[in-house]
Amino acid sequence: MAQRLHLVFGGELIDPSRTEFRDTDNIHVVGIFPDYQSAHAAWKAEAQRTVDSAHTRYFIAHLHRLRDEEREVSPTEELGG
């Protein structure tokens, strides 16, 4: 079974109704997690910690969806090999 990695990150948004960060240099990377359940727990903890900041949002990115293991690798992926 393939790993299903998830990235949890967040920060202050320009407008709470959009997903554009005010300062990308200050994005808080919580971590990469091996499954959705642990990523969700980390996301929830950060969301609750920052509940008083209306402009702060945290997100879960499904890193495993960025790669298709069945497709041939791109030239940039072959650079390291």
CATH number of the domain encompassing residue 17: 3.30.70.2400
Look at residue 73 and tell me if it is in a domain: no
pTM for the structure as a whole: 0.78
Look at residue 40 and tell me if it is in a domain: yes
Predicted pLDDT of residue 73: 57
CA distance 33 to 7: 6
Look at residue 81 and tell me if it is in a domain: no
Look at residue 79 and tell me if it is in a domain: no
Q: How far, CA to CA in Å, does 16 sit from each of 8, 25, 48, 56, 68?
A: 18, 18, 16, 8, 32
Can you give the pLDDT of all 81 residues of the chain as single tens digits? 667 899 999 999 999 999 999 999 999 999 999 999 999 999 999 999 999 999 999 999 998 887 666 666 555 454 444
Predicted pLDDT of residue 81: 45
Look at residue 30 and tell me if it is in a domain: yes
Look at residue 77 and tell me if it is in a domain: no
How many domains is the chain partitioned into structurally? 1
Domain that holds residue 23: 6-65
Predicted pLDDT of residue 68: 62
CA distance 24 to 3: 28
